[in-house]
Structure 1
Amino acid sequence: MKKVLLDLAVTLDGFIEGPNGETDWCIMDDDMNVEGFLASIDTIFYGRVSYDAWGKFQPDSTASAAEQKLWQAIHAKKKFLFSKTVMQDKQATIIASDIAAYVAEIKKQGGKDIWLYGGASLIKTFIQLDLIDVYRISVHPIALGSGKPLFETLQHRLNLKLIKTNIFRSGVVQLIYEPEK
């Protein structure tokens, strides 16, 4: 069965973006094996704001070949857009209600795992509904002091079991957890 993977960058002080939505603090090192992660998934879950910003993003013509290849790999995945806003999109399947039921059905389909891309509201919903199978949290060596926290307004305690730790040249530490059931 497919797993829902939350793969996310966070600051030392627990923010997933700065006070104005900035993510310029995120580090992308070649030793992070982003290509390997992308090869392990075939589906991406987006919230509307993240989809509007990144779901169709195309790097400009001056972007490196590596960045062009990265975005080509991302856009080759099946996309699901979770949004209550009525809209049409030929590149994504839109889910407006019954999130847990749709996610359960998608997980039963064959294939690779699912990347819960975000944004913050969708991640919060998935946490509250216990729909995340693996938390891949990459802690970046910066503190912002304010911004959008990852674990905002938890409705219940979230007990996680550490599965693996990866340390990268940049000082980013990736912590991989599974929920304790």
Structure 2
Amino acid sequence: MKKIILDLAVTLDGFIEGPNGEIDWCIMDDDMDFDGFLSSIDTIFYGRVSYDAWGNFQPDAEASPAEQMLWKGVHSKKKFVFSNQDIQDKRVTFISSDINNKVAEIKKQEGKDIWLYGGASLIKTFINLNLIDIYRISVHPIALGSGKPLFENLKERIGLKLIKANVFKSGVVQLIYEAAKKKKSFK
């Protein structure tokens, strides 16, 4: 069965973007092997705002060949957009209701894993519905002091098991966790 992987950059103080939505602090080292990650997935889950900003993003003509190839790889994936708005776009499949069942159907399909791209609202929904299988969090060596936190207003604790840690030349530390199976809690 396909796994849903949250692959995300976060600051040392836990923010996924700055107070004005800035992500200029994100580092992309060549030793991070993002191409390897892209080759392990065939599907991307977006929220509508993130899809509008990045779902069809095209780098400038002056962008490096590596950046050009990165975006070509991203755009070669099957895309699903989770939105309450009824939008028509033939390049993607929109999901506006019954998230649990529709995600379960997608996970049962043949193929590679799924990248939960985000944004913050969709990530929060997936966290609270316990739909994320792997948390692949790249902690960047910067503290912003404010912004949009990764873990906000959790309905309950999330148990995670560290399966791998990578340290990159920039000082980014990537922590890869498997979501622990839910146990019944006794109150």
TM range (shorter): over 0.9
Q: Which residue pairs with 1:47 in the alignment?
A: 47
Residue aligned with 1:102, SS: helix
Q: Which residue pairs with 2:6 in the alignment?
A: 6
Q: Which amino acid aligns with 1:136?
A: R
Could you tell me how far apart the structure 2 residues matched to 1:180 and 1:90 are?
Answer: 36
Correspondences of 1:54-69 after superposition (within 5 Å): 54-69=54-69
Q: Which residue pairs with 2:25 in the alignment?
A: 25
Correspondences of 1:32-181 after superposition (within 5 Å): 32-181=32-181
Deviations for 1:88-142, whole angstroms, at most 9, x for unmatched residues? 0111000000011010000000000000000000000000000000000000000
Could you tell me how far apart the structure 1 residues matched to 2:153 and 2:163 are?
Answer: 25
Instruction: After TM superposition, give the deviation of residue 179 of structure 1 in Å.
Output: 1.2
Residue aligned with 1:122, SS: helix
Q: Which amino acid aligns with 1:72?
A: K
Q: Normalised by the size of structure 1, how large is the TM-score?
A: 0.99
Q: Which amino acid aligns with 1:99?
A: I
Q: Which amino acid aligns with 2:130?
A: D
Could you tell me how far apart the structure 1 residues matched to 2:89 and 2:60 are?
Answer: 22
Q: Which residue pairs with 2:184 in the alignment?
A: none
Tell me the C-alpha RMSD between the 2 structures. 0.4
Residue aligned with 1:170, SS: coil
Could you tell me how far apart the structure 2 residues matched to 1:56 and 1:163 are?
Answer: 32
Could you tell me how far apart the structure 1 residues matched to 2:138 and 2:13 are?
Answer: 12
Deviations for 1:23-54, whole angstroms, at most 9, x for unmatched residues? 00000000000000000000000000100000
Q: Normalised by the size of structure 2, how large is the TM-score?
A: 0.96
Residue aligned with 1:8, SS: strand
Percent identity, aligned pairs only?
A: 77
Q: Which amino acid aligns with 1:149?
A: P
